[in-house]
Every structure is written in C-alpha cells, then in structure tokens.
Chain A
Amino acid sequence: MEREFFLLLSGVATASALLVIVARNPVHSALALVACLVQIAALYVLLGAPFLAVIQIFVYVGAVMVLFLFVIMMLDVRKESKRRYLKHALLPGVVVLVILSGELIVLLTQSTKLHAAMGPGQTITTQPSVEELSLLLFQDFLLPFEVASVILLVALIGAVVLARSEADVTPVRSRKNHGEVRR
C-alpha cells in the first residue's frame, strides 16, 4: 500500500515540477510549485517525519510561495511571457544538464550500497517522536539554532532595506533645514 502511495505522490511531484519549468505564466509556475511542495510534504510523512511535513507546508507553501505570488502580482509580468528560454545559453545549458544527469545515473546504478538499498526496505518499527527531535534540537544543536535565528533577523532587516523605495529615504540635512526657524 505504501508503494502505491509513493508512486502516486512522486509521479504528481515530477509532473508538477516539469510544469514549473515549462509554464509560460509565472503564476502558473508558482501554483505548480505549490502542488509539488505539497506532494513532497506527503512524502515526508511516508519517511516518518510528520513534523517536517507540517513545517514544509507552513513555511514553503504558507510563507515562501505566498511571498512569490505577492511579488509576481506586484510586478507586471504580462510582457515577460514571449520568450521562455535563454537563446544563446540553451546549448551549454542542455550539455551541462546531460552531463549532470549522466553522472547521477552512473552514481545511482554503479553504487553497490544502493543495490543493497534497492531490495525491500527493512521494516522500521520505532518511529522517532517530535519530543526526541526537540530535545536534540535544543540540546545538541542549540548554537546552530541561535545562529539561524540571527540569520533570519538579518535577512528580515536586509529585505526591508532593499525593498524600500528611494523616495522614503529623505536626506537628514534637508529635513533639518526645513525645520529651522527663519529670522
């Protein structure tokens, strides 16, 4: 039963990932990516990581993709749908992709450990709980956790500074002159 679920989810994930890169309209791409990310979240449940599945839906689908859709709708994307692909970079790009997929196929077929993994996967009975995950995260990985929070804060400030329009940044001197009392 699990295998059928896996095949269904991965098939839909691959199809929607292909739709992301062939769609003309960026809005369609974003919605296809949302579909793909939801399938991947379901795969996380199959992998025994339900907490990660919820995080995936909250952060990716709820925050990141909504941000993408906001930006797409803020910008005028109608004229962008004429040419989808880079013209002069098409040949080198395809060559790089063929080399990359060839490497991955060789790696996946020649590895002996992978042949062992091809067999029926061992039944794993003990499911790690969210409690164990949180203990590990807040004990052994406390410093990376704090560093990640600082990175998020810096990114927040950086995004606000970058996206602010130039008109808002009035020079301090002119504001001072404006406030001066004239005699």
Chain B
Amino acid sequence: MIPTAWYLILAATLFVIGGAGVLLRRNVLIVLMSLELMLNSVTINLLAFGHVLQDLRGQIIAIFVIAITAAEVAVALGILVALLRNKNTLEVDELTVLKG
C-alpha cells in the first residue's frame, strides 16, 4: 500500500506550484488555470484522508468541490470575455478599473 504521507506531499507540491502560477503569471487565463490546480491538490488531500479513515464524506466533499468549480469557471470566463470586450487586455497588471 502507498503511505498516506506521499499523497500529502504530492498535494502540497501541486498547491505551491498552483500558488506560483496565481501570484507570478501575468495572463488572467493562466491565473485561472493555476487556481484549478490548487483546487485539485486540495481534493487529493480530501480523498487521501477519506481513504485512510474509511469515510465516504471525503468523496462527497470532493464532488461538491468539482461542482462549484464548474460554476466558478463559467462565471469567471464570462467576466473575462466581457472584460476583453471593454478593456482589450488580458494582463493582470493592466486591469486597474477598480483603482480609486
């Protein structure tokens, strides 16, 4: 059997990589993709603990995470298309409409 800690280490690695994408990249699309990566690493943790503790609730929460992610991506990409129509840019540092 695979030690549980291996899953946790993998999830932590993927989380840090996703965080790097969110914090450092300029393109909004890639920031959103990195967000997906971070959500997936959290789901790995949920399933690993659910597997070890023999508790199905881990899988239930993972299903809800996936459903909410689908909703989030639909709204985020809608906002992105509207943004591109108005501002004609995809770079994070040029989106300063809310700046006072």
Q: Using a CB–CB distance below 8 Å, which chain A residues touch chain B? A: 2-3, 6, 10, 13-14, 17-18, 20-21, 26, 29-30, 33, 36-37, 40, 43-44, 46-49, 51-52, 55-56, 59-60, 63-64, 67-68, 71-72, 74-75, 77, 80, 83-90, 93-94, 96-97, 100-101, 104-105, 108, 114, 117-124, 126, 128, 132-133, 136-137, 141, 144, 148, 151-152, 154-156, 158-163, 165-166
Residues of chain B within 8 A of A118, CB atoms compared: 3, 5
Residues of chain A within 8 A of B66, CB atoms compared: 52, 55-56, 59-60
Closest 4 CB pairs of A and B: A155-B71, A162-B78, A93-B23, A121-B1
Q: Which residue of B lies closest to A46 (CB)?
A: B2
**Contact residue among B21, B64, B69 (Cβ-Cβ distance under 8 Å from A21):** B21
Residues of chain B within 8 A of A120, CB atoms compared: 1, 3
7 CB-based A-B contacts, threshold 8 Å = A21-B21, A46-B2, A49-B62, A121-B4, A133-B56, A158-B74, A158-B78
Cross-chain contact B51 with A48 (CB below 8 angstroms): yes
A26 to chain B, nearest CB (A): 5
Residues of chain A within 8 A of B25, CB atoms compared: 21, 84-86
B36 to chain A, nearest CB (A): 7
Interface of chain A: mostly helix, strand, loop or mixed: helix
Known: A2-B1, A51-B59, A86-B26. A151 touches B71 (CB 8 A): yes
Interface bits B30-63 vs A (CB < 8 Å: 1, else 0)? 1011101100100110011011101011011011
Q: How far is the CA of A169 from the CA of B99 in the complex (A)?
A: 28
Interface size on B, residues (CB 8 A): 70
A-B interface pairs (CB < 8 A), number: 230
Cross-chain contact B78 with A86 (CB below 8 angstroms): no
**Contact residue among A3, A36, A83, A165 (Cβ-Cβ distance under 8 Å from B85):** A165
Q: How far is the CA of A47 from the CA of B75 in the complex (A)?
A: 31
Known: A3-B2, A14-B13, A101-B16. A155 touches B24 (CB 8 A): no
Cross-chain contact B81 with A162 (CB below 8 angstroms): yes
Residues of chain A within 8 A of B30, CB atoms compared: 20-21, 26, 29
Residues of chain A within 8 A of B33, CB atoms compared: 20, 29-30, 33, 68
Q: Which residue of B lies closest to A155 (CB)?
A: B71
Cross-chain contact A108 with B5 (CB below 8 angstroms): yes
Q: Which residue of A lies closest to B51 (CB)?
A: A47
